[in-house]
Amino acid sequence: MSGYLTGVLVVLAFNVMAAYAVYLPLAAGQLNLGIAGFMAIGAYASAFLTNEYAWPMWAAIPVGSALAGLTGLVIGIPVLRTHGIYLAMATFALGQVISAIFLNLEVVGGAAGYPVSDYVGPNGVFLAAAGVVVLMLYLSRTRFALYLTAVKSDPTVADLLGVSVRGIQVAAFALGAAVAGFGGAFYAHHYNFVEAQHFNVLLSVFTVLYVLFGGTQTVWGPLVGAAFFTLAPELLRASDQWRYALFAIFIIVFMAIRPEGLVTTSLLRFRRRKNTDGAAAASSEAA
């Protein structure tokens, strides 16, 4: 594999992890615009533990992820009392605050950034992203995923049927934060350098865009959205400086045509039905 291709795929792997971090709360109807902040927590925590306490990377990364998740849990409880645009504002501010704290924290290099000692290669990053996808696929087969949609669809009825709406929302938010922290920790160890400026609002907003573009109705949406957002600008590279303009126009047109995202439940159901019809036709022909 060429160095260029590997580089692109590594970026894709990070984008996939970030996309699922946003997807989880979004599936329950909650927009987290501060995902970069949780990635920063995972990145800095894991970097700090390996640099200062000589922890092995494989222990530091899960701890970084857990710390991000714990922060999501503690902050999610009060923040998730807000709804809609106010929740978006609150999480937006939260991401900024976390990033600003690291920017001013001299113990992790402050504005100069923080070099990280242990290195994880591209295969490690691919494996991490694959692990996140498998976890999400697993969750999508459980009642947890069902309740995410139920809570988004009608919180009052979900509540009256005994589902803990707040519990599901906080769990999705915290789990999303943990996934973000997991991705952030791998980011730190792959690039061997973290700086607070990387975890900015653009990163959060772009990640939300991947997910909305791919669609929040199915577990495949974030994967497709992240892949599209990572690969399309690369494919348009031939057009040089116009590629981002072309890409932006394409997104606007596409969202106008398919506002519910690229991958939807009806699309998957249609495909499944077509397959079974095809199989039925084939078997009747055979008979």
Partner 1 sequence: MTAALSIQGLTKSFAGVRAIRDLSFEVPKGVTTALIGPNGAGKTTVFNLVSGVYGVDAGTITVNGVDVTHMPSRKRIGTGIARSFQNIRLMAHLTVLENMLVGQHVRNASLGALLTPYRLFPNHRWKVEAREALAESGLEAWADETVGALPYGVRKRIDLVRATLAGASLLMLDEPAAGLNPSETNALREHLKVLMGKGITLLVVEHDMHFVNSICQNVVVLNFGEKIAEGPLSKVRQDQKVREAYIGSEEA
Question: Which residues contact partner 1 by CB under 8 A?
Answer: 138-144, 146-147, 149-150, 152-154, 156-165, 217, 265-266, 269
Q: Which is nearer to partner 1, 121 or 167 (CB)?
A: 167
Q: Which amino acid is at 276?
A: T
Q: Show the DSSP H helices in the chain as ranges.
A: 3-27, 35-53, 57-79, 84-104, 122-139, 143-153, 155-160, 165-191, 201-214, 221-235, 243-257, 265-286
Nearer to partner 1, 119 or 138 (CB): 138
Rounded distance, CA 235 to CA 99, Å? Answer: 32
- Secondary structure (H, E, C), 181-243: HHHHHHHHHHHCEECHHHCCHHHHHHHHHHHHHHCCCCCCHHHHHHHHHHHHHHHHHHHHHHH
Nearer to partner 1, 51 or 217 (CB): 217
Backbone phi, psi, residue 69, to 5°: -65, -40
d(CA 122, CA 61): 16
User: Least distance from C-beta 215 to partner 1, angstroms?
Assistant: 12
CA dihedral 274, 280, 286, 287 (to 10 degrees): -160
CB of 214 to partner 1, least distance (A): 16
83/269 with CB nearer partner 1 = 269
Give the nearer residue to partner 1 in terms of CB position, either 200 or 264. 264
Pick the closer one to partner 1 by CB: 40 or 80: 80
Q: How far is CA 243 from the centre of its chain?
A: 24
CB of 134 to partner 1, least distance (A): 12
Minimum gap (Å) between residue 152 Cβ and partner 1 = 8
Tell me the closest approach of the beta carbon of residue 26 to partner 1, in angstroms: 14
Residues 18 and 68: their CA atoms lie apart, in Å, by 13
Q: In 3-state terms, what secondary structure has residue 115?
A: strand
Closest approach of partner 1 to the CB of residue 269, in Å: 8
Give strand pairing partners of 193.
115
Q: How far is the CB of 186 from partner 1 (least distance, A)?
A: 25
Nearer CB in complex with partner 1: 161/282: 161
